[in-house]
Amino acid sequence: MDAQFLVSFGLILATFGLYIGIALFNKARQTSDFYVAGRSVPAVFNGMAIGADWMSAASFIGMAGTIMIMGYDGLAYIMGWTGGYLLLTFLLAPQLRKYGRYTVPEFIGDRYQSNTARLIAAVATIIISFTYSIGQLSGSGVVIGRLLEVDVAVGTMIGVILIAFYSALGGMKGITWTQVAQYLVLIIAYLIPVIFMSLQLTSNPMPWLSYGQVIGELRELDQALGITEYVVPFTENTKWQFLALMFTLMAGTAGLPHVIVRFYTVATMKAARWSGAWALLFIGLLYLSAPAYAAFSRFILMDQVAGSPINNLPAWTTAWVDTGQLSVADQNGDGVLQWAEIVISKDIVVMATPEIANLGIFVIGLMAAGAMAAALSTAGGLMISISAALSHDIYYRSINPHASEEKRLAVGRWSIVIATVVAGLVALNPPGAITQIVAWAFALASGSFFPALLLGVWWKRSNGPGVIAGMVTGLSVSLAYIFAAKYGGFTILGIVDTGAGVFGASAAIVANIVVSLLTKEPSQQVQDEVIDLRYPEEMTYKDGEVWIKDGTEG
């Protein structure tokens, strides 16, 4: 039990105590608290909660490493995962807020007046959120396992118990305020090391301004070594794969149920727009820093680690070599470690950075607490979505419409506990690489929810049969392309499995439009409701006329 263990453990324990305290203080007392936090969350804080919800273990731990290894091609993740907020805030969120339901499947069911559509959407929510949460839980297992020096399986189970406890207790209300705290923890933990690295390498405390210079030096190092330059585009995949991946991530972001439901927790359409803007600002702080991390880490590895004698490597390398995430074999036997002989897993770049840059045990502990915050906050939001789909969309709206409020809350809580435990069991032995699973979840979301919501909000002629055809087609095309590209070697324009969403979304939009036009148009009431979404809450569309509230009504 060394000093590092005590510091990491102490910081994680302190932050967990804070989260649980907040969850207890904001215990959900009624259904609207549980699903949509009583619709009373102010826009700035909702922005932070969206940020924590959004930035998962994959973003916190994996993104900088992905960019470091893929170079320019990794930037598709930066633009895709931020650009999604444009689609969401401009095209969907305010309108969905005005329509005002508890969940995304509920919107789809009511807007398209189809129980079948609602059930398909509920099942899709469960599949997408469940897949995504497996990645979060195994991510938290890795962090707990590495820093508390216990087995990864034990780490995962600790994470499961924590998430099940505070999501089930607090519901959306507890989770929202917990996530505000988690955002602050994770962003501080992410920024401190990168600022210190920037100071060490460039004497400038603003990494965002200073790493351009490091990029220039990296180009020279690459040229001297004769390897592919870091900034050269499309070295990993084709240009079309870059564009397709970027589209899949954007459309998937705009169609992820656990993100959309965040916009239901605010009071008005106006607040939904401001929430989107604040959210992207808070998310941007991390996403603008990730490429700086990547450049600094690569520079330190190339400049200070590569070229060292193999028997005189920095002490931190041993710990990571032991975990199997880093390999530093001296292949040509000259006693010196060459750049080409370093194989680093992208998942350790951020976690190892404080050690690489020699920042001390407090920063390392802080990173652990930040990574845990990222994994737990996203998992919490995902669990609420799964529980809402099960208890609200399936149980309350289809099985037992007369269920009392207590009964619905109880079903919601139990479904969180069960979903977390099942996801935890799967996460003990994950079915694939975390980033891969996450990318598939986005391809599925962009094939199912994005087209259904987009046409539901903007095209009044779209109807029940249309949306059913669209969701089924989109999901099938996305899935088929993922499997064909991954296992069958089938690609179009070099687009691989992670870009599948572009085909899923196009197929779903076409299917929705064609089937809608071939079948009966929706009832006048539904069409009026869709036109009503064009206007703010104070304006109401009724029987072909628009009314505005001017304070004279009671």
Binding of residue 32 to other proteins (CB under 8 A): yes
Query: Measured between alpha carbons, how far is 53 from 182 in angstroms, rounded to an integer?
Result: 9
Binding of residue 432 to other proteins (CB under 8 A): no
Residue 492 C-beta: closest distance to other proteins, Å = 17
Residue 117 C-beta: closest distance to other proteins, Å = 17
Backbone φ and ψ of 540, nearest 5°? -125, 135
Among 49, 75, 120, 390, binds other proteins (CB under 8 A): 75
Structure tokens at 2: 């060394």
Binding of residue 406 to other proteins (CB under 8 A): no
**Cross-strand pairs, 113:** none
Among 21, 42, 212, 309, binds other proteins (CB under 8 A): 212
Query: Measured between alpha carbons, how far is 62 from 56 in angstroms, rounded to an integer?
Result: 9
Binding of residue 401 to other proteins (CB under 8 A): no
Q: Which is nearer to other proteins, 235 or 304 (by Cβ)?
A: 235
Q: What is 7-34 written as a DSSP string?
A: HHHHHHHHHHHHHHHHHHHT---SHHHH
Measured from the Cβ of residue 332, the count of other Cβ atoms closer than 10 Å reads: 10
Between residue 502 and residue 531, which ones bind other proteins under the rule CB under 8 A? 529
**Cross-strand pairs, 475:** none
Among 44, 243, 421, 514, binds other proteins (CB under 8 A): 243
Query: Measured between alpha carbons, how far is 255 from 104 in angstroms, rounded to an integer?
Result: 9
Q: Which run of H or E residues covers position 340? A: none
Binding of residue 298 to other proteins (CB under 8 A): no
- Contacting range for other proteins; rule: CB under 8 A; set: 143-151, 166-174, 422-430, 544-552: 544-552
Residue 102 C-beta: closest distance to other proteins, Å = 7
Count of residues in contact with other proteins, rule CB under 8 A = 68
- Contacting range for other proteins; rule: CB under 8 A; set: 187-195, 231-239, 316-324, 472-480: 231-239
Sequence-ordered strand ranges (E) for 440-544: 539-542
Residue 545 C-beta: closest distance to other proteins, Å = 6
Binding of residue 495 to other proteins (CB under 8 A): no
Q: Which is nearer to other proteins, 213 or 327 (by Cβ)?
A: 213
Binding of residue 112 to other proteins (CB under 8 A): no
**Of 311, 297, 294, 407, which is closest to residue 359 (Cα–Cα)?**
297
Render the burial of 340-375: b for 16+ CB within 10 Å, e for the rest.
ebbebbbbbbbbbbbbbbebebebbbbbbbbbbbbb
Residue 83 C-beta: closest distance to other proteins, Å = 6
Residue bearing tokens 């499961």: 160
Measured from the Cβ of residue 25, the count of other Cβ atoms closer than 10 Å reads: 12
Residue 363 C-beta: closest distance to other proteins, Å = 24
Query: Are 55 and 381 contacting, i.e. CB atoms less than 8 angstroms apart?
Result: no
Cβ-proximal residues to 333 (8 Å cutoff; 6+ apart), any chain: none
Between residue 84 and residue 103, which ones bind other proteins under the rule CB under 8 A? 85-87, 89-91, 97-102
**Of 426, 396, 416, 368, which is closest to residue 23 (Cα–Cα)?**
416
Q: Which is nearer to other proteins, 148 or 231 (by Cβ)?
A: 231
Among 16, 165, 287, 339, binds other proteins (CB under 8 A): 287
Q: What is 253-295 written as a DSSP string?
A: HTT-HHHHGGGGSSSSHHHHHHHHHHHHHHHHHHHHHHHHHHH
Query: Are 118 and 108 contacting, i.e. CB atoms less than 8 angstroms apart?
Result: yes
Residue 553 C-beta: closest distance to other proteins, Å = 5
Among 127, 277, 310, 361, binds other proteins (CB under 8 A): 277
Catalog residues that contact other proteins under the rule CB under 8 A: 31-32, 36, 39-40, 72, 75-76, 78-79, 82-83, 85-87, 89-91, 97-102, 208-209, 212-213, 215-216, 231-234, 239, 242-243, 246, 267-268, 270, 273-274, 276-277, 280-281, 284, 287-288, 291, 529, 534-539, 541, 545-553
